[in-house]
Amino acid sequence: MQLSEPYQPRTIRLLELWYEAGWQIKVYSLTHASKTPDPALVEASKEAARGLLPQPAATHTHYGVGFIGIHQGHSYDFVTVAWWAYETELYHHTLMRPGSQSYGLMPVTAAELSSDVWDIKLLAFERDAWVEEVLYHPDEGALTRYLARVLSDTL
């Protein structure tokens, strides 16, 4: 098997805990070794999230918490906007930026929808944080504990 590019670790880190219209969102950066977090892409991601996150933020079916993964890859950039609902459900949308010179984000169609090994690491971490902090211990501090659990690694 021939790879177009050997596996290289990517840095995953929390950029901020973003508060918007009742939402509390962890904003993560995932970057290819050749990239640094792009502030314009972060702002475009937040703008996209404003249009995707349901309102009101907290209801009997969703909790006003979630995360954004901003993945600047080798060739393309992907953004995942995700939030928790119905106790065990993760709702999410994936958008892409076709190139680093563009600041427009486009929704990924069902036929193109995929997750790579770095995005899956973030999804798995957030899943585990949700289970361990909220589902195992559903008390008043659960959401605060969930938001305090962040992934910061190079993998």
pTM of the shown model: 0.94
Q: Which position has the higher pLDDT, 25 or 113?
A: 25
Q: Which position has the higher pLDDT, 106 or 114?
A: 106
What is the average pLDDT across 123-145? 98
Spatial distance between the Cα atoms of 74 and 43, rounded to a whole number of angstroms: 20
Predicted local confidence at residue 144, as pLDDT: 98
At which residue do the structure tokens 């798995």 appear? 124
Examine the pLDDT at 100 and tell me if it is beyond 70: no
Question: Between vectors from CA 37 to CA 6 and to CA 148, what angle results, nearest 5°?
Answer: 100
Please report, rounded to a whole number, the percentage of residues in the chain having pLDDT higher than 70.
95
